[in-house]
Structure 1
Amino acid sequence: MLEGRATAQVMAVGGYDFLMVDVQHSAFSGSSFGDVVAAVRGTDTAVIARVAPGRADQIEWVLDQGADGVMVPLVNTVEEANAAVAACRYPPVGRRSVGGVANLLLRGPDYVTEADEDVVCIIQIEHFEGVENLDAILSVPGIDAVTPGHVDLARSLGHVADYSSGISYSSMPKVVQDALASISKTCEARGVPVIPVAGSLTEVQDAVDNGIRVLFCSGDFHLLTQAVAANVSQCRALLESTTN
């Protein structure tokens, strides 16, 4: 998310089933993240927070703010997967600390007894080491889904992906495509859903054709830049045609 509350509200009212709020790469404070969660209340949109790698404290924090789940990036080992899952669940299943009154107010007094089944834990596989270790990683109970991070994955394999104009994976080199296919195959064998990031309608169609029913459809940065570019181009074309 770029702007925060207003952007989240527009997208939630627009009909997205869930939003991924990028705490990892954006300048969210405690109040601004809470504003995003509050902005989508009353809609059918869930909030998934992407946290920084290896930050169990941040997982606890976003969940206490009212996030419906987390996306944990750069999970490369069984130990990192265990830490991610443990931070999402209360003892004796995990290590999440009991606290944070926002969920009691938003979800009611039964939240603490129901939270372990309600919180979604998505891990990102976005490094060749994670691809190599994925079968062992998926032996960890409590991983709800995997999202391939193709931009970082490409970088780990020696390729720089230009994501300024989009987040498409279709144009990635063969070695990256092979790694993405390996992720899908391993997840299918383990019965763990894959939630891909689709940068175009073509990629959405490709995902649907492959049985995917949950996916990330672009992001606010690219949606906004594409809409602005198209609008400016159209307006200038009309002005120039009138002037001429």
Structure 2
Amino acid sequence: MKTAALASGPKILVHQTLPSFSIPEWAKVAGYDGVILDLQHGELGLDAACGILRSIPRDNAYAWARVGSTDPGQILRLLDSGARGIVAPTIESREQAQALVAATKYLPIGNRSMGPSRPGLYIGDSYAEAGNLAVSTIAQIETRIGVERAEEIISTPGLDSIYIGPADLAVSYGLPGRGDWDDGPVRDAIVHLRELTQAHGVTLGIYSGKSAYTAALLADGLVDYVAFGIDLVLLNRALGDNINELKTALSTRNRS
């Protein structure tokens, strides 16, 4: 059983690391499909993330959260607050993928506890079945070991998607920690993961911070979704552009 959320279209999400209720709204208005609330990196704590999730409409299938581990306690809180996808980092084995599935899916697929705290979160004759369809279980592959064991991870029953962390993946191959690789082992890994995910009916996503690289990945059909940018990086860039524009204007006036 695969979730309905990832069935259509290429989707564009943004990583949110700041405890702000406004960022999901601004992202949606700007044209993003959703957010990944990042509890692994950044300033988001569990309580803040749960509050933000409750502010996002329940029908947004791309209200996702990235956790620091497969700890079921944190995952359960996020899901009960309305997270429609859980991304777990550095998955390197089938056992870790199974633990993620167990924490995110109700019986008979997983072992998620039945304790809904947000009314009307899943609609259907069977709350458990509707919940399993509504929640995307996403394993992040970002190491050489993860790539080598990719098929055993991807074929885990109940897993919906693979998310590539290209910078960490590059570091694991002894390369600089950047994400926009057009050749070499990172590119080979992307192609390999695409072949495996298509073979097993699982979707594939990646992080990217560059427009041209993102467009090429989507145009080549290598991924189904991209997390395009991080709020802190985008804010830093906007602040830098703003002050540099002012400095240029002042310099021009001083020369005239």
Q: Give the TM-score normalised by structure 2.
A: 0.83
Distance 1:44 1:113, change over 3 A: closer
Displacement after TM superposition at 1:191 (Å)? 3.0
Equivalent residue, structure 1, for 2:149: 133
Indicate whether 1:233 and 2:249 are aligned: no
Equivalent residue, structure 1, for 2:167: 151
Equivalent residue, structure 1, for 2:115: 99
Match of 1:14 among 30, 47, 51: 30
Identical columns (%): 28
Any gaps of 5 or more consecutive residues in structure 1? 163-167
Equivalent residue, structure 1, for 2:11: none
- Report which stretch shifted further, 35-44 or 203-212: 35-44
Q: Name the amino acid aligned to 1:186.
A: L
Cα deviation per residue 1:172-212 (whole Å; 9 max; x = unaligned)? x7233323332223223333221122221111221222224
What secondary structure is seen at the aligned counterpart in 2 of 1:195?
A: strand
Any gaps of 5 or more consecutive residues in structure 2? 1-15
Q: Number of aligned pairs?
A: 237
Cα pair 2:18 2:43 within 8 Å, conserved = no
What secondary structure is seen at the aligned counterpart in 1 of 2:86?
A: strand
Displacement after TM superposition at 1:26 (Å)? 3.0
Cα deviation per residue 1:23-66 (whole Å; 9 max; x = unaligned)? 11233334311221133338857310001123222221210111
Structure number with higher strand proportion:
2
Equivalent residue, structure 1, for 2:194: 184
Higher relative contact order (CA 8 A, sep 6+): 2
What secondary structure is seen at the aligned counterpart in 1 of 2:170?
A: helix
Structure number with higher helix proportion:
1
Superposition misfits of 4+ residues, deviation over 6 angstroms: none
What secondary structure is seen at the aligned counterpart in 2 of 1:221?
A: helix
CA distance in 1, matches of 2:43, 2:243: 28
Equivalent residue, structure 2, for 1:73: 89
Q: What is the Cα-based RMSD across aligned positions, in Å?
A: 2.3
Match of 2:234 among 212, 216, 223: 223
Indicate whether 1:3 and 2:14 are aligned: no
Distance 1:131 1:63, change over 3 A: same
Match of 1:195 among 205, 208, 221: 205
Cα pair 1:74 1:126 within 8 Å, conserved = yes
